[in-house]
């Protein structure tokens, strides 16, 4: 994470970031409904925290950051994780969607069985978001939603997530 004014790395423990608050709210919605949550960071490094109900562990992982930038998605990593777990579950992705291998990301997400809800929460409304809208079309189990302003967190929790957790 970068401070846009000084272009320097800032720890999430030192500054509040909307996408971390949003991810925390999303994870808490599931945890409050007795679900397990896992965190997969696919920024500069793949890092996966197994499914758990441990709120502190989830919150700590959501604040994980790396000093090296770039977003490259590893579809094999997600696919193997999904195959190892039984039952249905949701996938929530929070990103600026400026993913270097966007096509692999789109194809991987489209291959997740329809029993899963997929929430794509974008932190910037850029051309990649438009590409995602075009590629996903009107898929019933995929929601593409903004996470740009504080009010978006409320809209996500009270709107889209209600289809999953209640």
Instruction: Read off the pTM.
Output: 0.79
CA distance 152 to 146: 6
- The number of beta carbons lying within 10 Å of the beta carbon of residue 76 is 11
- Render pLDDT for 106-127 as a digit per residue (tens, 0 to 9): 888 778 776 578 888 999 999 9
DSSP assigned state of 13: T
- Render pLDDT for 91-108 as a digit per residue (tens, 0 to 9): 888 888 888 888 888 888
Domains and CATH numbers, the chain: 12-165 (3.40.50.410)
The torsion angles phi and psi of 28, rounded to 5 degrees, stand at: -65, -35
Q: What is the pLDDT of residue 13?
A: 55
């Amino acid at each position: 994470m970068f401070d846009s004014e000084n272009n320097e790395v800032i720890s999430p423990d030192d500054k509040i970031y909307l996408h971390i608050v949003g991810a925390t709210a999303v994870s808490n919605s599931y945890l409050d409904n007795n679900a397990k949550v896992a965190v997969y960071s696919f920024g500069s490094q793949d890092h996966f925290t197994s499914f758990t109900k441990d709120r502190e562990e989830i919150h700590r992982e959501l604040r994980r950051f790396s000093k090296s930038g770039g977003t490259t998605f590893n579809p094999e990593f997600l696919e193997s994780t999904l195959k190892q777990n039984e039952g249905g579950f949701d996938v929530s992705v929070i990103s600026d969607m400026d993913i270097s291998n966007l096509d692999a990301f789109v194809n991987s997400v489209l291959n997740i069985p329809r029993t899963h809800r997929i929430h794509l929460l974008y932190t910037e409304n850029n051309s990649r978001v438009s590409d995602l809208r075009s590629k996903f079309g009107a898929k019933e189990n995929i929601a593409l939603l903004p996470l740009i302003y504080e009010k978006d967190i409320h809209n996500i929790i009270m709107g889209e997530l209600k289809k999953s957790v209640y």
